Amino acid sequence: MGNKQTIFTDEQLDAYQDCTFFTRKEILRLHGRYHELAPNLVPMDYTNDPDVKLPLQLIINMPELKENPFRNRIVESFSEDGQGNLSFNDFVDMFSVLSEMAPRELKAIYAFKIYDFNTDNFICKEDLEKTLNKLTREELTAEEVNLVCDKVIEEADLDGDGKLAFADFENMISRAPDFLSLTVSTDKRDEVKPLLKTARAFESFTWV
């Protein structure tokens, strides 16, 4: 009985609980998933905080992530080095934010980071184009992508600088149902369908 859980100290588990939306049992389960990715690298004893990081390629091929079009950006955004190499702490943080328990406000912070492909702390038109192409799996034409991106910036750019700061982005997603319908500005039924799909994708940011 006393040897049932020796992976973390009680203090470590308390700290994880305080900083995430997980219970002790869920944290231990996450360690199990992390260990499964690289049994030869990840120790079963974390009481001494081992310095272990798993590469991006191992993480993005997890069943929980591999179908997500933003898997690379998600992992990079949670890695301390920005390259997608995740420590166990990074791994726990990532799944905590991706979980249903995380509040919308916290998800918005990381969604902004994920959409900010050039990491300049703004979402510019090029970032939006990449975002749309990933969300729709490149089903839209270049003209449709350009139309949606121009409309997003026109409606969401509060200070007129041609790009979205976090405040612009936060305001946009807080009123997503009404705002996103503005991206559809054509009367042709066949053209409306893919744009509506894009709008819905923006509205329901694809967290795992």
End-to-end Cα distance, the chain? 35
pTM: 0.80
- Domain end, chosen from 42, 76, 102, is at 102
Domain span at 139: 103-182
Q: What's the pLDDT tens digit per position in 153-167?
A: 988 899 999 999 999
Q: How many domains does the chain have?
A: 2
User: What pLDDT was estimated at residue 23?
Assistant: 95
Q: What is the mean pLDDT of the chain?
A: 83
User: What pLDDT was estimated at residue 208?
Assistant: 39
Among 2-6, 14-18, 98-102, 105-109, name the one with the lowest average pLDDT. Answer: 2-6
Rounded distance, CA 10 to CA 14, Å? 6
**For the chain, what percent of residues have pLDDT higher than 90?**
55
pLDDT band for position 4 (cuts 50, 70, 90): low
98 and 134 assigned to the same domain: no
Rounded distance, CA 41 to CA 28, Å? 17
55 and 97 assigned to the same domain: yes
Contact 144, 195 (CB under 8 A): yes
